[in-house]
Amino acid sequence: MGTTPVADDLDPLHRSCLSGCHCGSLICCVHHEAKQIGIRLFQQDVTRRADTARKQLQIKVIDLEQTVRGLLRGFGLKVGDVSRGKLPARIRELAAGHVMLEKIVEPLLAAREAMWRELAKLHREVLIIVKEDQVCRRLMTVPGVGALVSLTYRAGVDDPDRFKKSKSVGAFFGLTPKRYQSGETDVVGSITKVGDAAVRTALHDAANALLTRATRFSTLKRWALDVAKRRGMRRAKVALARKLATVLHRMWADGTEFVWGKDPAAAAKA
């Protein structure tokens, strides 16, 4: 029988674990550490599934709206471009006078209203998760990155230690261009679109917001605008989305916040 190690003989990590145990044994320390890891993984899984549930419910609501539009189009009635708030009134206006069409449309509109109500509840719960998550709050310091983008990225990456290099995150989510090489042939195509499409879409939305809506100066936006001048806005958004994937991973891994940089005009005045 071997002797039980004491706290003085252990490294600082296990000594800190033993401080929370009552028996002082190494076996208890290991079980305590595994329990803490299990709790952390469970919380990450809940976060990921909550975000997935919100997305799926949103997709179902949009599908239902498109179904109603398709039904009306079959009768020669075009809904047109209207906001979601005014959509029910517009549909009822078009269906007025068609008895059978009214009976078909009303249950669909009632189901849509109920689904939007539940989606709003789930959306609020997701925002609460983001508010209590330190990683999400840190990622939201990047311009263009909001609550849903940060949560989607966090759920998609899951663990920053999965990637040895931050530059490989963009390729993991399909934001790098395809390349065909054979002999002297070297053709660069569109992006690969592999990996999680939700994360890729979220990063593209963040890039679009940074380029079109962010007003505060940042070196990241200046870099993207330079790319837009050379290659066009469409390619600049994709390049910026790939850049954001790298920046967000490095911030997460290092525990740092976004560095805005100094405006050259302001620096010249100083």
Give the three-state DSSP class for 40: helix
Rounded distance, CA 140 to CA 152, Å?
Answer: 12
| Predicted local distance difference test score (pLDDT) of residue 47 | 74
Share of the chain above pLDDT 90, in %: 58
Closest CA to 226 of 238, 236, 237: 236
DSSP assignment of 145-206 equals --HHHHHHHHHHH--GGG-SSTTHHHHHTT-SEEEEEETTEEEEEEE---S-HHHHHHHHHH
Average pLDDT over residues 149-169: 91
Closest CA to 203 of 167, 248, 164: 248
Rounded distance, CA 150 to CA 197, Å?
Answer: 15
Rounded distance, CA 136 to CA 128, Å?
Answer: 11
Rounded distance, CA 180 to CA 55, Å?
Answer: 35
- Per the listing, tokens 């599908």 go with 63
Beta carbons within 8 Å of 34's beta carbon, 6+ residues apart = none
Rounded distance, CA 262 to CA 229, Å?
Answer: 21
Average pLDDT over residues 156-171: 92
| Predicted local distance difference test score (pLDDT) of residue 268 | 46
Closest CA to 136 of 24, 44, 15: 44
Average pLDDT over residues 196-215: 93
Average pLDDT over residues 154-158: 88
Neighbours of 96 (CB within 10 A): 9
| Predicted local distance difference test score (pLDDT) of residue 43 | 64
CA angle at 27 for the pair 23 and 33, rounded to the nearest 5°: 95
Give yes or no for residue 270 having a pLDDT over 80.
Answer: no
Average pLDDT, the chain: 83
Q: Are 260 and 174 in contact (CB under 8 A)?
A: no
pLDDT band at 238, cuts 50/70/90? very high
Q: Are 153 and 207 in contact (CB under 8 A)?
A: no
CA angle at 184 for the pair 179 and 189, rounded to the nearest 5°: 20
